[in-house]
Structure 1
Amino acid sequence: MTTVLLLGIFLALLACSAFFSSAETAYFSVDPIQLRRIGAQHPVTAERLRALLATPTRLLSTILIGNTLVNLALANVGYAIAELWAPAYAEAIAIPAVTLLLIFFGEIGPKNLGLLYTAALVRFYGPPLRFAERLLAPLRFALDLVSRRLAHLFRPAGKTLSEEEFETVLDISREEGILNADELAMIKAIVDLEDMHASDVMTPRVDFIGIDLDDPAADPVAIARRSRRNFLILYRAQFDDIAGFLDVRRFLLDPAHVLAAATLPPVYVPESVPLNRLLVRFQKDKIRIAIVVDEYGGVAGVVTRGDILEEITGDIYNELSKPRPIFQSAGPYA
């Protein structure tokens, strides 16, 4: 009688293991088309199904906890049956027998059924799964709390995605049509700013055009008009002594042409500063142009906000570069 009872319990537990395994596969492989078909034929069942799938973490935790508890009980009952039949060889019989039965009838078989009969299984598994959710809620809550604490301990501070993972997310978004090619390229360019420095985009000092404040013969108005630039460098005798930047437009629009009224103070940045940090500083302090200094404190070049934005958006007008010619057709034969 005891053997028959234990066999009955063993088969019931094996059926429960098959239930949880097939439920895991069925619920996490159901697709929108199957959901729509179930909704058309069984609207109430479909609503309950959507309610379960609305919290996938809770559903998966319930299935995994239930399956683990059932398999542990199954192993103990299997060992008890083996002890009744062959006490001297209980372990040698129970371990391989229970393992094989679990693999074939508790895992492989049920999971294949879950894939083959997904729509049918999710329709009928709703009530027992909701019951299991309520029954295992206290244990699930405790385990979730512990797992969140452990994840918090081992998670890298201030970083949830690696650069490679982030680029993978972007590529998937492009493939699914969420981002177009231009948007994808722009976002990747923003990410790449972290690996670029001011020295990579600056205008070197050999290309400077400026006004020597110590040269009495210098004509600021003539130089400004001839330069066709947004900014001119104001210096004393040499470019290592920069007094500021002349806002050419403001200077030329001023009828009095007062240099001081159109002069921006010099701002110094190291050539090794990453472009992402430099752009944040430009935006925060409302800076449009800065002097780039090398490791010895000498002037290496000049960087503008446009230089950084050009790395994101592509080739745009540079505030220190020469103006580009604009061609206009003179007629159909031009």
Structure 2
Amino acid sequence: MNETSLTALFIILVGLIVLSGFFSSSETGMMSLNRYRLKHMAKTGHKGAKRAQALLNRTDQLIGVILIGNNFVNIFASAIATVIAIRIWGDAGIAIATVLLTIVILIFAEVTPKTLAALFPEKIAFPASHVLGPLLKILYPVVWAVNLFTGAILKIIGVSANDVANEHLSREELRTLVNEAGALIPAKHKDMLVSILDLEKVTVNDIMVPRNEVVGIDLEDDLDTILRQLRSSQHTRLPVFKGDINNIQGVLHLRNVSRLLLQDDINKTMLMQLCREPYFVPESTPLNTQLINFQKQKRRFGIVVDEYGEVLGLATLEDILEEIVGEFTTDYAATSPDIIPQDDGTFIIDGTSAVRTINKALGWKLPIDGPKTLNGLITETLENIPETNVCLKVGGHRVEVLQIKDNVVKAAIVHPKKRKKRATS
């Protein structure tokens, strides 16, 4: 073999190694594409994404054409390298060619291209789709035949390509995806997205205004008292009841009663005519369901009841929205009358305060899978109703009972968790 022929074989060998690297990088690049990002890019009209998505819709065919091309190129390169090595080193060239070609293919046609493709899948996969698409059409009969045999083997071992589940993100996977988005999603938006995912875990009972804090109109009060209450009310909607809050008669919107307050001949019957029929909500209703129910019923205000029909409190659309966007006040801990910060870093907290509210306001992690109020947490921990001021530990916080009235902890001093000191060497 003359020098010109040997040079031509070297050029062919280099070309085959480049092609092998192309097929290797294409395979890794295609398989490394973020499918959700790819769908988004395809929907926005990105041509490369559309081509890649079309190829990935039949993964078996894509892998088939890539492996057929890669194996053909590698085997051809092996044959060329053997011929070259025999011409140069004689019979010993077979072993030399095997070792050298293995190293060259491993470095230049496998590891390096696949590493680049894994790091930059879109930059590799989108241009590669220009070649893989037409190549699949040309080699389709071969690919079809290979996949036919492959499918038969898979069936023998009890595997079917049709049984593979679609790639749908679970709630926890979506939460991880949002949390790992980093600077791509602003922190406030990230918190809102996670809060939406958590709505199913939170029930109406967790966010309601408890019945002892409910402000309403008692029809058994005299008319002057009711009118004074209507004129000074800070609430837009008020439940109207007779004698006891369990005897709800309706819900009064102050917007409807504003003109009536200017009349001199106003009476309770006229007020009742302006009331809307009460809307009752089971306490165990998840917030995501209740949000939809409010929308369907065109309501913003619900009376929360237990399984026996006893009124437990009130739930509003605003309460649910606050679970998503956070408190509407800038610093709930500073403005809430139920949480009073002290100079020594402790907090005097009303016993009826909701545990979730305390956690949100102060950034704590008091247990929320049991009692809903601080009073409930204290009595559950003690396993009895305290008769005197006691000190205990709840959720890692030191709690000092400050006031007890009517078998209820009215107020307690709660200490923040002590930070663990780092060991110094």
Q: Which piece of structure 1 moves more, 58-67 or 219-228? A: 58-67
Alignment of 1:68-83 (within 5 A): 68-69=67-68
- Call closer, same or farther: CA 1:128–1:281 in 2, change over 3 Å: closer
Partner of 1:23: 23
- Call closer, same or farther: CA 1:129–1:203 in 2, change over 3 Å: closer
Hey, what's the Cα distance between the residues in 2 that align with 1:116 and 1:310?
46
1:170 to 165, 178, 191: 178
Letter matched to residue 299 of structure 2:
I
Letter matched to residue 168 of structure 1:
T
Shift of 1:25: 1.3
Shift of 1:101: 10
Q: Secondary structure at the match of 2:63?
A: helix
2:305–2:313 contact (8 Å) kept in structure 1: yes
Shift of 1:222: 1.3
2:175–2:197 contact (8 Å) kept in structure 1: no
Partner of 2:154: none
Partner of 1:314: 326
Cα deviation digits, residues 17-57 of structure 1 (max 9, x gap)? 98355434168669xxxxxxxxxxxxxxxxxxx96664224
Cα deviation digits, residues 138-171 of structure 1 (max 9, x gap)? 676896xx987433xx34xxx9211222123323
Aligned length: 258
Hey, what's the Cα distance between the residues in 2 that align with 1:268 and 1:186?
27
Q: Which has the higher contact order (CA 8 A, sep 6+)?
A: 1
Residue 304 (str. 1) matches residue 304 (str. 2): no
Partner of 2:358: none
**What TM-score do you get using the length of structure 1 for normalisation?**
0.60
Residue 55 (str. 1) matches residue 60 (str. 2): no
Shift of 1:220: 2.3
**What TM-score do you get using the length of structure 2 for normalisation?**
0.49
Q: Which piece of structure 1 moves more, 109-118 or 238-247? A: 109-118
Shift of 1:200: 0.7
Hey, what's the Cα distance between the residues in 2 that align with 1:262 and 1:274?
31
Q: Which piece of structure 1 moves more, 109-118 or 283-292? A: 109-118
- Call closer, same or farther: CA 1:166–1:53 in 2, change over 3 Å: closer
1:231 to 228, 232, 237: 237
Hey, what's the Cα distance between the residues in 2 that align with 1:232 and 1:141?
71
Aligned Cα root-mean-square deviation (Å): 4.6
- Residue segments in structure 1 that go unaligned for 5+ positions in a row: 1-11, 31-49, 78-99, 318-322, 326-334
- Call closer, same or farther: CA 1:222–1:243 in 2, change over 3 Å: same
Partner of 2:217: 211
Hey, what's the Cα distance between the residues in 2 that align with 1:19 and 1:75?
9
Partner of 1:295: 307
Hey, what's the Cα distance between the residues in 1 that align with 2:283 and 2:129?
63
Q: Secondary structure at the match of 1:284?
A: helix
| Structure with a larger share of its residues in helix | 1
- Residue segments in structure 2 that go unaligned for 5+ positions in a row: 1-11, 31-45, 77-98, 152-159, 330-334, 338-425
Q: Secondary structure at the match of 2:285?
A: coil
Partner of 1:39: none
Identity %: 28
